[in-house]
Amino acid sequence: MNLTRLTFPFDGHTVTVLGYHYAGYSGNASPPEPESFSVHQAEIVKQADADEPVSVDDLDDDELADAALRAWRVREEGYRCDHADAIREDRWMESRGYL
């Protein structure tokens, strides 16, 4: 588990959270432990409606953790795609004799 900072939209707000991603465990545990994200700090960096500000304490903690897990998955998928593109480009350049 690594400490992770994520910024993502949540209920119309833009929220930044600091927490840990847990990949889960499906070994001999019964039932298997699910993937999760544990939020330790949260901050609303942009309010949905500036005339009616909302406190972080007013947000649902479970929904915030679920949204953080989804944001973490999206970010990791982007990293995997970028990595795959870089490998493809390296292979193409090697095949052309550039590397």
Amino acid (one-letter) located at 63: E
The number of residues in the chain equals 99
Domain ranges of the chain: 3-95
Q: What is the pTM of this model?
A: 0.81
Whether the predicted pLDDT of 98 surpasses 70: yes
On average, the pLDDT of the chain sits at: 91
Quick one: the chain helix, strand, coil %, rounded to 5?
40, 30, 30
Whether the predicted pLDDT of 75 surpasses 80: yes
pLDDT over 70, % of the chain: 94
User: Is the C-alpha dihedral spanning 47, 17, 56, 43 positive or negative?
Assistant: negative
What's residue 11's pLDDT?
93
Q: Read off the tokens for 60.
A: 């649902």
Contact 37, 72 (CB under 8 A): yes
Q: Residue 8: which of 78, 80, 64 has the closest Cα?
A: 64
